[in-house]
Amino acid sequence: MQIRNDLTAAALQPKIDKLWQLSAEKIDLINREYDNSKGTPVFTVNGKYTLRGWTEWTQGFQYGAEVLQFDATGDTRFLDSARKNTVNYMASHVGHFGVHDHGFNNVSTYGNLLRLMNEGRIPENEWERNFYEIALKISGAVQAKRWTNTKNGQGFIHSFNGPHSLFVDTIRSVRALMVSHLMGHGLMGENDVKTSLLERGTLHSIATANYSVYYGEGRDSYDLWGRTAHESVFNTNDGNYRCPNSQQGFSGFTTWTRGLAWAMLGFAEQLESLASFSDEELSQLGGRAEIERIYLKAAKATCDFYIENTAADGIPYWDTGAPQIHKLGDYTNRTSDPYNEFEPIDSSAAAIGAQGLLRLGKYLEAKGQQEEGKKYWQAGLTAVDSLFAEPYLSTDPTHQGLILHSIYHRPNGWDNIPAGQKIPCGESSMWGDYHAREVALYLHRINAGQPYYSYLGAVKE
C-alpha cells in the first residue's frame, strides 16, 4: 500500500457527499424491489440483492443503513423507516442465542437510534428510550451466554460453529456487551449468580488478541506480524488451544482480509472504549495499562499487516495467501484490479479496515504519538479515497449495491462470476455497503465538527 500524505478528511468531503447521494438511491431501490418475506438480503447477484448464508446476520446492516443515512443528511423519511423496521423485524435478533452477531445486528439499529436520541437528533421520548435500552441490555447478555471456558480462567464468545470455535469477526460484535454493561446490566445465571459483561467482553477481546492475531513470535511456520486466522479451534474438554482454521479464507495459515479488517476495527474501538471504564473495574481484569497494551499491540499489528499486504490504492485482495495471488506479481505496488483473471478483490475488507486505520490513528495522535498516528490516519484516508470512487463506487442506477467488488464466501463458490469474467467481481454486500456508510459518517461528522462517532454514543452520559 502506498500511503498518500497529501490527503485530508476535508478534501474527501465531495466524495463523501456523492456517496450519501448514491446511498439514498440504493436504499430506496432495495425498499422498492426487494421482497423482505424471503429473508434478509445478504449480497448481490447481477446487481440485485439476494439471500444466502448460515444466519441472518446482515439485517441490522440493512436497517442500520437507514439510520446512518438520516444521521448524515437529516432526511427524516429514512429515520421513520428505520424506526418502523427496527420494531417490525429486529426483535428476533435481540433474543437470538444461536449467533455471535449481536454487535452487528443490534448495536447498528437500536444502538444507533439511541445514540441519536442522546445527541438530541431524535426528540426525547421516555417510552422509545426505554424500548431501545431494554433491547441493548438483553442483547449484550444473550451474546455473553455463548461462552467457552479456556485455561487459567480465560474464555471467549464462541461462534455459531460451536463451543470449540473462536471467530476473529466477533471482536467487533463484543461491543454489545460493553454497551449493556455501561447501562448497568449483567448476565444472570443459576441461583441469581451475576456475571459481569465487561469481564466477558474483555476476556473475549484478550483471547482474540492472543489466538486470532499473530505477532511474529514463533507460534508456527507462518507466524508474521499482524497476520490473522479466521477461526481458532479449542479442545472443549480441557480448554486447550489446538490450531488455526478458516471458514471463508483460503486456509488457517493464510490471512482472509475481511477477518483481518474486523480485527483492525474491533481492537481500535475497544481501545477507545477503555476510557469509559473505571480503574477499579479494569483492575480485576489485569489493569488498564495491561489491557491497553494488549489491545494496542493487536491493533497496530493488524493495521501494519494490512498496509504491508494491500494493493497500492489501499484495496485488498480477498486473502493474502490465495492460491493464485502469486500470478498477480508485485500487486502491493500497483493499483488494485477487480477484473483480473486470478483472485478477487474484497472491497468490504477495505470499508471495514479503513475505519480501523482511522480510529487507531486518531487514538495514537490523542496520546501524543503524532507521527505514528498520522501513518495510520493517512492510510485510512488513502483507502477511503479509492473506495469512494469508481470502479468501487456503484453509480449504475439499476444496481442495488453501493460498493462494488465485495466477496462473501470464495471457498464455497457463493459469489457471482459475471459473464466474460474468470473471478467474482462487480457485486456488493450488505456489510460492505453498511461499513462504507459508517466510515463515511465517521469522517463526515469530523469534518462538520459534530460529536465523535462511537458505538458508546448509545450510552447516556
The contacts of residue 338 (CB under 8 Å, 6+ apart) are 344, 345, 347, 391, 392, 404, 405, 425, 426
Q: How many residues does the chain have?
A: 461
The grid coordinates listed for 377 are 490516519
Q: Give CA angle at 24 (18, 29), nearest 5°.
A: 125
pTM of the model: 0.98
Q: Where are the domains of the chain?
A: 10-458
Sequence-distant (≥ 6) Cβ neighbours of residue 390 within 8 angstroms: none
Which grid coordinates belong to 217?
513470535
- CA proximity to 54, closest of 33, 65, 39: 39
pLDDT number for residue 433: 98
Residue 213 is given by DSSP the state B
pLDDT attached to residue 328: 97
* Segment 200-259, tens digit of pLDDT: 999 999 999 999 999 999 999 999 999 999 999 999 999 999 999 999 999 999 999 999
Contacts of residue 248, defined as CB under 8 A and 6 or more positions apart, other chains included, come to 230, 256, 258, 259, 408, 409, 410, 411, 412
pLDDT at site 56: 83
Using the Cα atoms of residue 202, residue 439, residue 20 and residue 13 in order, give the sign of their dihedral.
positive
8 A C-beta contact, residue 376 and residue 364? yes
Q: Which residues contact 146 (CB under 8 A, 6 or more apart)?
A: 97, 100, 157, 158
Give the per-residue pLDDT at 70.
98
Residue 391: the pLDDT is 98
Q: Distance from CA of residue 277 to its chain's centroid?
A: 22
**pLDDT on residue 53:** 66
**Beta-carbon count within 10 A of 29 CB:** 18
Q: Which of 180, 40, 160, 17 has its CA nearest to residue 103?
A: 180
Q: What gap in Å lies between CA 87 and CA 94, rounded to an integer?
A: 11
DSSP 297-320: HHHHHHHHHHHHTS-TTS--BSBT
* Architecture of the CATH domain 10-458: Alpha/alpha barrel (1.50)
pLDDT in tens, 393-450: 999 999 999 999 999 999 999 999 999 999 999 999 999 999 999 999 999 999 999 9
pLDDT at 276: 97
Beta bridge partners of residue 165, listed in sequence order = 233
Average pLDDT, 10 consecutive residues per value, the chain (461 residues): 98 98 98 91 96 84 98 98 97 95 97 98 97 98 97 94 97 97 97 97 98 96 97 96 96 97 98 97 97 98 98 98 97 98 98 98 97 98 98 98 97 95 98 98 98 96 80
Predicted local confidence at residue 196, as pLDDT: 98
pLDDT digits (tens, 9 = 90+) for 448-458: 999 999 999 99
